[in-house]
Amino acid sequence: MAESRGTRERIVEAAVGLFYEKGFEGTGMAELLIRAGANSGSFYHFFKGKEDLLSAVLDWYQAHLEPILIEPLRAQTPDPIERIFALLDGYRQRVLVTGCTYGCPIGRLALEIDPARVDVHAAIAKNFTGWTGAVERFLKDAGDRLPRGLDRAELALFVLTVMEGGVMQSRAHRSIEPFDASVRQLRHYFRHLEAEAALRGSKARRKVRRKPGRKPGFQPSPERQPPARKS
């Protein structure tokens, strides 16, 4: 039992590596079995085929997101916004150590895999949501440093957009510059958002001071609220 679990893991990890290096279409079954050190009998014991392996690979990424990508950020800095930029800096390092050939493995599958494979795209989307969910939690931790009305989930999605678009252009240009430029623009946007929040915060405080009759946190009494509309 322990042995067979080891074989399945070896196959999945070989697929993680090969799909990353050569893409899904570019990976052959023969080289997959060689890298995993498995024969085709044990492969078909666990998987129906290469297609079936794709879900296992995406589950692997999903399971590794929190311990490998997110958890270390908490030790790196206590500042929730800086944690987001530290996450992006992790991608910067990946771009650099690969000589600017890095491509996000999930992003590559998103663009490569046939849209007809609805199950695979759902698993890709789940990976994206895992990533943006972690960023959204950091954005919520930032509290009133960001504008109150700002949709945190939407901004988190935007951070992923910036990472993916930056990585893609750096790979094509074989240069860190497009990635760095994208993150600089995002940083500039965050500075504006923080300034917007600070400005609105101070305006709100002035408003409260100007109307001494109204206590902060004042709520209109129920009878003064507009009646609920009947549909």
Q: Rule CB under 8 A: which residues touch a second copy?
A: 22-23, 25-26, 99, 101, 103-104, 107-108, 110-112, 114-115, 118, 121, 124-125, 128, 151, 154-155, 157-158, 160-166, 168-169, 171-174, 178, 181-182, 184-186, 188-189, 192-193, 196
Toward a second copy, which CB reaches closer, 8 or 126? 126
Least Å from the CB of residue 100 to a second copy: 8
CA distance 223 to 189: 42
**Are residues 54 and 122 in contact, defined by beta-carbon separation less than 8 angstroms?**
no
Toward a second copy, which CB reaches closer, 176 or 208? 176
Least Å from the CB of residue 147 to a second copy: 10
DSSP string for 1-69 = -HHHHHHHHHHHHHHHHHHHHHTTTT--HHHHHHHHT--HHHHHHH-SSHHHHHHHHHHHHHHHIIIII
H-type helices in the chain, by residue range?
A: 2-22, 29-36, 40-46, 50-64, 71-76, 80-97, 105-112, 118-141, 152-173, 177-210
Least Å from the CB of residue 3 to a second copy: 34
Least Å from the CB of residue 63 to a second copy: 18
Toward a second copy, which CB reaches closer, 12 or 164? 164
The CA-atom distances, in angstroms, between 99 and each of 94, 142, 170, 182 are 9, 34, 10, 18
Toward a second copy, which CB reaches closer, 62 or 169? 169
- Residue 202: both structure tokens together: 């101070």
Least Å from the CB of residue 199 to a second copy: 11
Toward a second copy, which CB reaches closer, 42 or 182? 182
